[in-house]
Amino acid sequence: MAPSEVSALKGETRVEEPDRLGRAIARRTAETRATVPDLELALDVDAGACLKLARERGCSLTAVLLRACAIALSEVPRANGAYRDGRFELYSRVNVGVTIQTDDGYLTPTVLDADLKSLQQLNEELAQVRDRALAGELTAPELAGATFTFSDLGEYGVQRSSALVNPPQAAALTAGSVRAVALVRDGAVVAGHAISLTLACDHRILFGARAAGFLRRIGELLQAADL
């Protein structure tokens, strides 16, 4: 069939121009896929302890996950760095960009010094930046300076999702939804909950074993609820 005949089968065509945010997302996604030799790893974590912690502290699970990432980043300098011009840049501050979905795409405000903030402080800051993001009130400085990116897609029911490294950062982590599962504890099968974590990293700075160790450390912190 001729191209015009194929197009006719699709009905009327309505063309939409992306807004500035949409163009920025497209540009960054293309840059990531074209320039970052990424490695992706996944880990299923027993979520019982961190869910209990969130209930006891009156905070969101996102805040608990963010706190675990921040602690692990402070312990694994390569994960809190960047590959730039053939060298490793390792940063002294742990600044986590937290992806917030909006009607037109997503924004990633930065939680500065996340490793130095308590669970309650992180929970309050997350609520504030989420409200500001949805209201379109975030400023350029609030979107800058991140050394790592974290996305929580749990509220959308997504169990597992690929993550995109945000150049020049070394890594990004995506958390899926909490799901009911059968777990083995002390040799017995019991009902429990699990969450899937997916880490994407720039393999030029965060190699396989080191990346796996970083992801495992996040899982250990969540399972021990030592936050």
Q: How far apart are the first and last CA of the chain?
A: 62
Q: Is 193 a catalytic site residue?
A: no
Structure tokens at 69: 């990432």
DSSP state, 103?
Answer: T
CA separation, residue 25 to residues 198, 199, 204 (Å): 20, 20, 23
DSSP state, 148?
Answer: E
Q: Which of 28, 57, 179, 203 is catalytic?
A: 203
Phi, psi of 203 (to 5 degrees): -70, -10
Per the document, the length of the chain is 227
Bridge partners, 180 (sequence order): 193
Give the residue numbers annotated as catalytic, written as ranges: 203
